[in-house]
Structures are given as C-alpha cells and as structure tokens.
Amino acid sequence: EVQVEESGGGVVQPGGSLKLSCAASGFTFSDSALHWVRQASGKGLEWVGRIRSKTYNSATEYAESVKGRFTISRDDSMRMAYLHMSGLKTEDTAVYFCSGMIGDAFDVWGRGTRVTVSS
Amino acid sequence: ELTQPPSVSVSPGQTARITCSGDELPKKYAYWYQHKPGQAPVAVMLKDSERPSGIPERFSGSSSGTTATLTISGVQAEDEADYYCQTADVSGTYVFGPGTKVTV
C-alpha cells in the first residue's frame, strides 16, 4: 500500500525547534519528491516546502513564510523525510502533512502531525 | 495566487461546480484535492482533467484561460468535503487555493 506517515509533532515554545519525520512505503521513495504542507486550525492548506530526489541533487524550495527557519532533508536508505523547524512562531501552529509526489501531483498524503507553538 | 468560492451547497444527485482562478493557470496545470476532517487529503483531479485511478467518474475537470473547474456530477453525501485547487508557481514553488467547502 502506498502511504506516508508523519510523526514528531508536539508543543514547543516560541523561538524553539522541532523536527518532524515522514515515513514512506509502497512507492519508489528515492525517485520521488517529498513535500510538507500545513493547515492551521480553520484555515486552508499552505505549501511549506519540497525536497527533490537525488537525481535533482535533493534540491529544496521553501515558502517565503518559512524560508531561513525550516529545512527539509531526506534519507533514502531509511525511506524517511524530515522537516527541521527552528525559530518557531505562534503562527507556525498547524497540522503538518507530508506528501509524496510520485508523478506531478501531491499523490500520497499522511494524516498529519500537530504542532503547537505556545508559551 | 488562486481564488476559490468559500462554499458550494448542492442537493444529492445534483451537479456541483467549483471554480479556481489564477493568472498562472493558462500556463500551468491545475490539480484538485478532496480533504475531509481528520483524514489525509486525496487527489481527485490531475493536470486539469485527468482523473486518478480509483476516483469515481462523477468527478471531472476542465480549464480555460485563467479558470479551472472541478465538476461533481450526481453528487453523493460522501462527497461533502473541502476541495482545494493547486498549481505550481513559475518560481518552482507551489500554491493552494483557499479551499471550497462543499455541503451536500
């Protein structure tokens, strides 16, 4: 079965750091781009960033709202992707989804992991 | 930036049409995702009008100029969800529309 599963969410103070993980199975992970998308409570989906496959040098792109604070990495041997978040702000509070791009679309999604930034 | 109507209300068996407008759409494909509370989003339309495997035939898509449209014909109760359009920006980033809540 094609699936991804996020983990690592929790409560963190403003200015703090957190690392989210995304475990993938059922598709050729090493050939796929991995994205992170978030959804604040009552709001819509917001694209956070992407890491491309090794074929494209694992290049990363980020939304302006997180650039310089968030970093995406991947470990193809473990079929894992990560979202390293630092300098967290209250407005980063959201459910964070991992999505695998097998073709050109966000083809496979997890159920998300909740991040709360609060003092 | 993409714009969508906040909500669409439709009776069972009728047709729901959800529009998505954006200046990039003449040059870029639109994709559509269905999202139910507490669940993982699901792609329901690819590249303007390609239906992914497993998506019912009542879902169809089209695009003309700056507007893409997702049509659900013969709406069923299970189609009640939030629907998001998405496209790729020229800068290599991605953008989602604000979402449309479909109420059946």
One-letter amino acid identity for A61? E
One-letter amino acid identity for B91? S
- The distance of A52 to chain B (nearest Cα, Å) reads 11
Mutant choice from A45, A96, A113 vs B, greatest count of B C-beta within 10 A? A45
Q: Give residue for tokens 């969410």.
A: A9
A61 CB near a chain B CB, below 8 Å?
yes
Bridge-partner residues for A96, per DSSP? A38, A113
B93 CB near a chain A CB, below 8 Å?
yes
Chain A CA closest to residue B85: A45
Q: Give the pLDDT band of residue B18 (cuts 50, 70, 90).
A: very high
For range B8-18, the mean pLDDT: 98
Q: How many residues are recorded in chain A?
A: 119
Whose CA is closest to A28, among A85, A103, A96? A103
Q: Give the pLDDT band of residue B27 (cuts 50, 70, 90).
A: very high
C-alpha A39: how far from its chain's center? 12
Ramachandran class of A44: left when φ > 0, alpha when ψ lies in -120 to 50, beta otherwise: beta
pLDDT of residue A3: 95
- Asked if A63 contacts A47 with a C-beta cutoff of 8 angstroms, the reply is yes
Q: In whole angstroms, what is the distance from residue B95 CA to residue A63 CA?
A: 9
Q: In whole angstroms, what is the distance from residue A10 CA to residue A6 CA?
A: 12
For range B39-65, the mean pLDDT: 97
3-state secondary structure of A55: helix
- The distance of A49 to chain B (nearest Cα, Å) reads 8
Q: In whole angstroms, what is the distance from residue A82 CA to residue B86 CA?
A: 23
* pLDDT, one tens digit for every residue, chain A (119 residues): 999 999 999 999 999 999 999 999 999 999 999 999 999 999 999 999 999 999 999 999 999 999 999 999 999 999 999 999 999 999 999 999 999 998 889 999 999 999 999 99
